[in-house]
Structure 1
Amino acid sequence: MSEDIANNFELRPVIIGAVISIVCIVIGMSTGIGFLGIFGLIIGSAVAGFISENSTRYALIYGAIIGIVSSFLLFTVFTIPIFIILGLFGGFVGKIIKSNFQIE
C-alpha cells in the first residue's frame, strides 16, 4: 500500500498548488484581507486536485500537503489543523470538478 502511494506521487500538482496558495496568503497578509489567504488555500489545493492524474485519494493527500506547507506562514497551533482541513476540502473539490467535466 505505501509502495503504491510512493510510486504514484506527482510533484507538479503539489508545487503548483503550494505556489498559488502561498502567493495568495502573502498578498492577503500584506493587504490585511485574511479571507484572501483562506480562499487562496482552497483554490491552490483545488488546482492541485484538478491537475492530478490519479484518484481522489491522491488529491486529498496533495491538499493536505499544501495545507501543511501553507500553515508555516501563519505558524500557530490553530492554523495547522484548519489549513489541513481546508486543503483536503480544496483537493476534493478540484477532483470533483475534473470528474464532472471529464477533461483528459
Structure 2
Amino acid sequence: MTEDIASNFELKPVIVGAVISIVCLLVGMSTGIGVIGILGLIIGSAISGFLTNNSTTHALIYGAIVGFVSSFLMFTVFSIPIFIIIGLFGGYIGKVVQNNY
C-alpha cells in the first residue's frame, strides 16, 4: 500500500490546492475576517481532492498536505492539527463531489 501511494503521487493537485488556500488565507488575514481563510482552506483542499485521479486515500493525503502547508501562515503550533483536520475534510468533500459527477 505504501508503494502505491509513493509511486502514484500527483504534484498538480497539491500545488493548485495550496496556492488557492494560501491566497484565501492571506486575504482573510489582511482583512481581519478569519472565516475567509477557513473557507479558503476547505475550498483549496477540496479542489486538490477533486483533481486527483487516484483513490480516496490519495485525496485525503493531498488534503492533509494542503492543510499542513497552509498552517505555516498562522505561526502557531496549535493551528497545525486544526488545519490538517480541515484539510482532510476538504479533500474528502472534493473526492465525493468528483465521484458523484
The alignment's TM-score, normalised by the length of structure 2, stands at: 0.98
1:39 paired residue number? 39
1:18 paired residue number? 18
- Deviation (angstroms), 1:77: 2.0
Q: Look up the SS of the partner of 2:73 in the other structure.
A: coil
1:77 paired residue number? 77
RMSD: 0.6
Deviating above 4 A after TM superposition, structure 1's stretches of 4 or more consecutive aligned residues are none
Alignment of 1:1-104 (within 5 A): 1-101=1-101
Question: Structure 1: 5+ residue runs without aligned partners?
Answer: none
CA-to-aligned-CA distance 1:64-102 (integer Å, 9 cap, x gap) = 00000000000212100000000000000000001111x
CA-to-aligned-CA distance 1:5-52 (integer Å, 9 cap, x gap) = 111010000000000000000000011111100000000000000000
In 2, Cα distance between equivalents of 1:77 and 1:27: 21
The alignment's TM-score, normalised by the length of structure 1, stands at: 0.95
Give the helix-richer structure, 1 or 2. Answer: 2
Question: Structure 2: 5+ residue runs without aligned partners?
Answer: none
